Amino acid sequence: MKNLDKILNKEELLKEDILFLLQLREADKIEMLQKKAEEVRQIYFNDEIHLRGIIEFSNFCIRDCFYCGLRRSNKKVERFRMSKEEIMVTAKLIYDSDIKTIVLQSGEDLFYTKEDIAEIITEIKSQYDVAITLSLGERAFDEYDLWRECGADRYLLKHETANRNLYHQIHPYQDFTNRIAHLKYLKNIGFQIGSGNIIGLPNQTLEDIADDILLCNKLNVDMASFSPFIHADNTPFANVENCDMQLLLNTMAVARLVLKNAHIPATTALATLDEEGREKGILAGANVVMPSFTPTPYRGNYLIYKDKKCISENPKQCMPCLDLRLMSIGVKVSHSHGHSLKT
């Protein structure tokens, strides 16, 4: 206990400290870790949780990530693309729900040209006072330039794992160095960047997870997402066991201690692993929730992993449910844009 207390009160955690904390399993020690993470969250964000409304507008993807249900080799997915008009109707729904960030997310789908995306950004920005996050995978640098010029504020591109070998095992045709170069470029041209990992990948070690947190710190990310591996049908990892919930919560809590004022989401994937997963994530230091506004029936076909939560509900029904869930753990929804606190 004395050792744990000493680590929790350090200004900067070393890798060995992170490893020690990730391994905690005794209830009283986990409680101490989570309490500290909550304390740090409150210093920067009080009791306010930022909502980001997601529009998953296309499930086409040119990539073949081993863990993902949307990978191009999966021929059993019913593919969809939303039109610009459908995206705008959904953006209005998010704005009308008093959510100040719209996340435009898709598989890596080159069907939408840089001009198409620029037009969507410009139209949303001209109609609504919202921040825009893009999550479109790796695109050309000149495309990032244009989208930033049109007013997109943030770009989410997870590094997935800081272990190069593991990275190449799960992304057979992608390059880790390139991924990091994209993140650095995005940051340099003024995007608030989001990165993060997947926890529970085959052959992943605790050391890899510690490196993921440290890499996010080194990249000075504005947002860091630590999400659980959940197996998807018709993928090479279909029979791999799902992520261990406690390891995930420990990772989020440690990430809060290391990354301090970065935004950390309690992802919908947490709710898939555990009915109260998002609430547990917030109690472990998360400060962001990202409800999906993807219209039915599309939302049922955006299945990166199996048994995704909240796919049959109408997006309008999700908000009251989410409000109640947040109130039940003593936090409230922020009405600000929730921009980065990093300098």
Q: Which stretch binds ligand SF4 (CB under 6 A): 61-69, 147-155, 200-208, 273-281?
A: 61-69
In the complex, the smallest distance separating the C-beta of residue 245 from ligand SF4, rounded to whole angstroms, is 21
Pairing of strands 53-58, 101-106: parallel
Residue number, 65 or 221, with CB nearest to ligand SF4:
65
Nearer to ligand SF4, 156 or 304 (CB): 304
Q: In angstroms, what is the minimal distance from the CB of 59 to ligand SF4?
A: 7
- Assess 108 for contact with ligand SF4 (CB under 6 A): yes
Query: Using CB under 6 A, which of 19, 42, 48, 63 touches ligand SF4?
Result: 63
Residue 227 burial (10 A CB sphere; 0-12, 13-18, 19+) = buried
Question: Nearest distance from residue 290's CB to ligand SF4, in Å?
Answer: 16
**Least CB distance to ligand SF4 at residue 253 (A):** 25
User: How long a stretch of residues is the chain?
Assistant: 343
Residue 159 identity: H
- Least Å distance, CB 177 to ligand SF4, is 17
137 near ligand SF4, rule: CB under 6 A: yes
CA distances from 221 to 43, 259, 288 (A): 19, 8, 15
Return the number of the residue (25 or 173) whose C-beta is nearest ligand SF4.
173
- To ligand SF4, the closest distance from the beta carbon of 343 in angstroms equals 30
- Could you list the beta-strand ranges (E) of the chain: 48-51, 53-58, 101-106, 131-135, 154-156, 192-199, 223-228, 288-289, 332-333
State the distance between the two ends of the chain, measured CA to CA, in whole angstroms.
Answer: 35
Q: Which lies closer to ligand SF4 via its Cβ, residue 45 or residue 237? A: 237
Crossing angle of helices 15-22 and 206-218, rounded to 10°: 130
CA 56 to chain centre: 13
For ligand SF4, which residue of 107, 200, 265, 338 counts as binding (CB under 6 A)? 107
Query: Minimal distance in Å, beta carbon 303 to ligand SF4?
Result: 10
Distance between CA atoms of 89 and 243, rounded to whole angstroms?
A: 36
What's the distance, CA 272 to chain centroid? Answer: 14
Which residue, 107 or 265, has its beta carbon nearer to ligand SF4?
107
Is 61 an interacting residue with respect to ligand SF4 (CB under 6 A)?
A: yes
Alpha helices in 27-158 (DSSP H): 27-45, 84-96, 114-127, 141-149
Residues 286-315 that bind ligand SF4 (CB under 6 A): 304
**Contacts to ligand SF4 by CB under 6 A:** 61, 63, 65, 68, 70-71, 107-108, 137, 304
